[in-house]
Amino acid sequence: MTSLDAHAMAGQPGHVALCAPIMSTLSSPSRSSLVLGIETSCDETGVAIVDAERRILAERLSSQLEMHAPFGGVVPEIAARAHLDILDILIKDAMKDAALDFQDLDAIAVTAGPGLIGGLIAGVITAKAIAAVHQRPLIAVNHLEAHALSARLTDPDLAFPYLLLLVSGGHCQLLMVKGVGDYQRLGTTLDDALGEAYDKAAKMLNLGYPGGPAIEASALAGRADAFEFPRPMAGKPNCHFSFSGLKTALRHAIQALGPKSLDPPYINDLCASFQAAAIDSLLDRTRRATKVVQSMKTPPKALVVAGGVAANTYLKTRLIDLATKAGLSLVVPPARLCTDNGTMIAWTGIERLALGLHDDLTVQARARWPLDPHAAPAIGAGVKA
């Protein structure tokens, strides 16, 4: 099936919509809006300009991957300084790419949380300065909401409500997306997010950073049944996740192998077995969520997957089967919109501005900012949940 075929069948249960990057002639919340988006929540500096006709007029992205790779993870102080060094340049370049002046913009949208506080402050201060000088509305965007709404940029047929699987290096949640600013959390991680678990597993295997792509690549050459790893939380009546026990099992397997664990065949088998266990657990929790939402007054018709881990090919393949059996359409944004980027921030600005939602210049960056502030704490979960 081609991506165009998939999009045409997006409204039919069991079919996957691999959203096209740009759709410029479809309906929109407000056809006059033009928003600059700024993203600095972690180790990607993203800037984009999007209009309400779903046209991406400019997008710039600067990765800090090489800066953090020697440390095996993101160093907050390095990340914040890198954002400050490049952000003004990216904004200038994006405005030039779009052939716009700041007065042409209808609003400035910026990630205000959650994330690394130093990076968030760099983005928020910059956005405030632009908004104040050019007297444009400021829109403080929840980074998680931007992931949640990104699929609506590239799939205009995606209507509320829908079930969201949000999987990234910092977050692992299942949510009902009822509308802009209206979210019901069904499940969250009790410890690590899946992307974080991949990074830590890769570090144990000396595969470098980031771990997700490295483990997925090695797993292609390995056997998923070579090692018997647990499927955390499988069969539990709730929709929560846990990956700490799986990481422990991997460490024990590495220790039992001794020096052989560094041989490529064993590394490939360990990666394949680890990935199979992690995805099995993820699918079990998602399958549970599909059953929970079907009893709601307005059940969803689509399952959306967002966040950096959504780019994992093995995960997408498995989710197609899950969605088909649940009678849901599977909607996956393009890979470049799954990872952190300014485009999803700009689009969220479009969605919020259409509802008259914007903020004053006193808004502050927030390291923690749950999408569902009314969700009860998950028993056993740490502060990240």
Residuewise pLDDT in 10s, the chain (385 residues):
222 233 333 333 333 444 433 333 333 444 469 999 999 999 999 999 999 999 999 999 999 989 998 988 899 999 999 999 999 999 999 999 999 999 999 999 999 999 999 999 999 999 999 999 999 999 999 999 999 999 999 999 999 999 999 998 888 999 999 999 999 999 999 999 999 999 999 999 999 988 999 999 999 999 999 999 999 999 999 999 999 999 999 999 999 999 999 999 999 999 999 999 999 999 999 999 999 999 999 999 999 999 989 888 999 999 999 999 999 999 999 989 999 999 999 999 999 999 999 999 999 999 999 999 999 887 665 444 4
Rounded to the nearest 10°, the torsion over CA 325, 328, 333, 334 is 40
CA atoms 259, 263, 267, 273: torsion sign:
negative
Alpha helices in 135-170 (DSSP H): 143-154
| Cα 281 to Cα 273: distance, rounded to the nearest angstrom | 12
Q: Cα-flanking dihedrals φ and ψ of residue 163, to 5°? A: -90, 130
**Other residues' Cβ atoms within 10 Å of the Cβ of residue 313:** 10
Q: How many C-beta neighbours within 10 Å does residue 316 have?
A: 16
Cα distances (Å, whole numbers) of residue 177 to 84, 172, 182, 186: 33, 15, 6, 11
H-helix or E-strand containing 303? strand 302-306
Pairing state of beta strands 182-188 and 16-18? unpaired
Alpha-carbon gap, residue 96 to 222, rounded angstroms = 47
Closest CA to 365 of 113, 41, 47: 113
Strand partners for 17: 331
The token pair at 76 is 């907050």
Domains in the chain and their CATH numbers? 19-155+337-354 (3.30.420.40), 162-332 (3.30.420.40)
Average pLDDT, the chain: 90
Which pLDDT belongs to residue 67? Answer: 93
Percent of the chain, pLDDT > 90?
Answer: 83
Q: Which pLDDT belongs to residue 381? A: 56
Kindly state the tokens that stand for 320.
Answer: 């197609």
Cis peptide before 230 (omega within 30 of 0): no
Instruction: Round the CA-based radius of gyration of the chain to a whole number and report it.
Output: 21
Name 246's bridge partners. Answer: none
pTM of the predicted model as reported, rounded to 2 decimal places? 0.89
Rounded Cα–Cα distance for residues 194 and 320 (Å): 19
Reported as a single tens digit per residue, the pLDDT across 282-292 is 999 999 999 99
Tokens standing for 370?
């749950």
What's residue 6's pLDDT? 31
Angstrom distance (rounded) from CA 287 to CA 281: 10
Burial class (CB in 10 A: 0-12, 13-18, 19+), 19: buried
Measured distance CA(374)–CA(376) in Å, rounded: 6
pLDDT of the residue at 16? 44
In 3D space, the residue among 56, 57, 79, 59 whose CA is nearest the CA of residue 67 turns out to be 79
Q: Which of 37, 39, 40 is nearest to 118 (CA)?
A: 40
Residues 6+ apart with CB under 8 A from 24: 53, 54, 55
Return the pLDDT at 311. 85
Give the integer Cα–Cα distance in Å for 78 and 42: 10
Q: How many C-beta neighbours within 10 Å does residue 275 have? A: 24
pLDDT of residue 7: 30
